[in-house]
Chains A and B, each alone.
Chain A
Amino acid sequence: MPRTDEQEILRRLELISQIKPSPESTARAMERVRRVFVSMSEKKEISNQIKIVRIWGSIMKTKMLRFAAAAVIIIGILFGLHQFGVRIDGTAVVWADVMEQIYNARTVTYRETIKTEDNPPTTVEEMVMEPGHIRTTFNNSISITDLALNRDLQLYPNEKKATITQRIGMKQRKQPFNYLNWVTKLKDRTGQFTRQQVLDGQAVDVFLFQQEYEKTTVWVDPKTNLPVRVEREIIPNPDKEIISPEMALRSDDFEEVKEGEMIITKGISFYGGGGMVKKMIMVISDFVWDANLDPSLFSIEPPPDYAVEQEQLDVSNPDEQGLIEVLALWSEMSDGFFPSAIKDLVDPNMVKPILVEKFAKGGNPVDELELAMPVLNKILKALVFAQQQRIYGEWGYAGDGIRLGETNEPICWWKSDDTGTYRVIYGDLSIGDSSEIPQQK
């Protein structure tokens, strides 16, 4: 054995510092901790946290576009099952069992129907394989998502086209993202066993989870402790100034599309919590838990005979810098004027002309649409940021009639609950702090 001088000790320490447990072991350890949280949830309420879920989808259509907007929403709503969480009251033990069963499931398939005010009901078929692989079939298109890689593959079999979207700006998880692992994301919601019921000839337990902007009912098979049906109602914020940040652009917004040519529609929709959404009801049914699914169904490699497009989508958190960039863009495209109201950022009658003016240069309409989408993303994110401030703190906007460069004019300001000062953006797009609500000159 070597003499244990300092160098020898350091060499051994170096060896130790290089040891890494296997991914399987880490996954097992994480699972055990999650079970701790499940059991603890029986005893304690878990406080809520502002959680922004970003939703994005793109579909390609012919001139039959009436489903386009709905599709954008649907793709977002597919994350519904993942989002609902509970607080356990008197029925803690029973619901904890359900959560554990869900967590233990490695695959699930189900059908999800979305009803919104503006669109006819739409149904998608979904398959989930852990860790974090999702396959959605909707209207002759297939969407495959790998949550660990932050990557989506959209397939259009009729056209033999594929789009790979890499989501950027979000922290790469060190562990595989488990789609069904919402147990660890428990939120401050009251949940209670309401009744037993017969559903499709089967005795089920019914649980109700209700919070400010959401009501979820879960029908559970008591034999398996697994959900057989979920209904989730999303309720908009009663504040009429809080609106759903979503918009779709079409390639023919930019250039004329000849008869018989494809019109591409792409949309972005955010679900920012706090009722920042249109009213909708989702019904999730036809669950098959732990089905034997072929892993190749979740491959994010496009078929070899498909034409492939690659794109990126910035899904970083909305922040004040993003708001400043959007105000700068707006003023640049509007003779120096800022938006007259912050909700102009989601008004297609105002946003589309700005994007068309900036990107329609007589080229390929699809290319121009592609260039415009990241900017639309920024604009909607700026709105999400502003609305978050309004929902969770204080927000004021006074940009109407102000032009870029009016140094001392406050454009907007906000204050979070936990800070004593207002952040203020001025007419020259500088940003500062103020102990009181800024006054316009």
Chain B
Amino acid sequence: MQRLLEVFERSETELHTLLARLVLREDIAEELMQELFVKLANFKGLDKVKDLAAYAHRTAVNMAFDWRKARDKSACRLDDVPEPVSDLISPSSKFAQNEEIEEVLGAIAQFRGASREAFVMRYIQQQSYEYIAGEMGKTPNQVCALCFKALMHIRYLLSDKELRYSKKGGRDAED
């Protein structure tokens, strides 16, 4: 428990910000933050986890993308439409930009493991390759390769979607 408290003390805002970026909803980020620590506190193997902060980070990322997948599977209600969580997104471009980043996040949700972990740290959290390498126990070159692979995968997913979109004549047709 003490270690968990330390993780909370050290990474509280980082984890919450990360969750907010991945789910794009403040209320969900708050909920997931709570769930994250419930999950960690109840994890019986917690004492065996060497780097608890990194473990908490991974768990947070997985939970956020799991939430996205679950949401995408469920029927979309009006009040489920994501609200932008940043003032940096101007009201005029809110909707378009929201769609754009939703697409990217949806694509990231399609893969798991080290690639996603590295990619999120690099591009969502803006960490350096060296830092990520240290966190993941890899070399910067390996991290770079993982990120590149992920980027290509996202590009493929989005291009494929665009292709289907254009073939079916627009979003309504696709939906």
Give A residues with C-beta under 8 Å from B.
1, 3-6, 9-10, 12-13, 15-22, 25-26, 28-30, 32-33, 35-37, 40-41, 44-47, 49, 174-175, 184-186
**B110 close to A (CB within 8 Å):** no
A44 to B1, CA, bound (A): 8
Within 8 A of A (CB), among B1-60: 1-2, 4-5, 8-9, 12-13, 16-17, 20-21, 24, 26-27, 29-31, 33-34, 37-38, 41
Q: Judging by beta carbons under 8 Å apart, are B30 and A25 in contact? A: yes
Q: Judging by beta carbons under 8 Å apart, are A15 and B30 in contact? A: no
**B109 close to A (CB within 8 Å):** no
Q: Which of B68-76, B119-127, B128-136, B137-145 touches A?
A: B119-127
A186 to B101, CA, bound (A): 40
Give B residues with C-beta under 8 Å from A.
1-2, 4-5, 8-9, 12-13, 16-17, 20-21, 24, 26-27, 29-31, 33-34, 37-38, 41, 84-86, 88-89, 96-97, 99-101, 103-105, 123-126, 151, 154-155, 158-159, 162
Q: Judging by beta carbons under 8 Å apart, are B158 and A47 in contact? A: no
A275 CB to nearest chain B CB (Å): 21
A431 CB to nearest chain B CB (Å): 28
A32 CB to nearest chain B CB (Å): 4
B109 CB to nearest chain A CB (Å): 13
Closest B residue to A30 using CB positions: B12
Taking A15-B97, A184-B5 as given, write out 7 further A-B residue pairs in contact, using a Cβ cutoff of 8 Å, ordered by the A residue number. A15-B100, A17-B126, A21-B26, A26-B17, A29-B29, A32-B33, A46-B5
Also in contact, A33 and B158, with CB within 8 A (given A13-B123, A16-B21): no
- Chain A positions within 8 Å of B96 at CB level: 1
Also in contact, A17 and B1, with CB within 8 A (given A9-B155, A26-B13): no
Closest A residue to B24 using CB positions: A19
Q: Judging by beta carbons under 8 Å apart, are A4 and B162 in contact? A: yes
Q: Judging by beta carbons under 8 Å apart, are A12 and B16 in contact? A: no
- Name the one of B2, B8, B21, B99 contacting A47, with C-beta atoms under 8 angstroms: B2
9 interchain pairs, CB-CB under 8 A: A1-B162, A4-B162, A5-B155, A12-B101, A12-B104, A21-B16, A21-B26, A30-B16, A33-B33
- Name the one of A9, A21, A26, A175 contacting B151, with C-beta atoms under 8 angstroms: A9
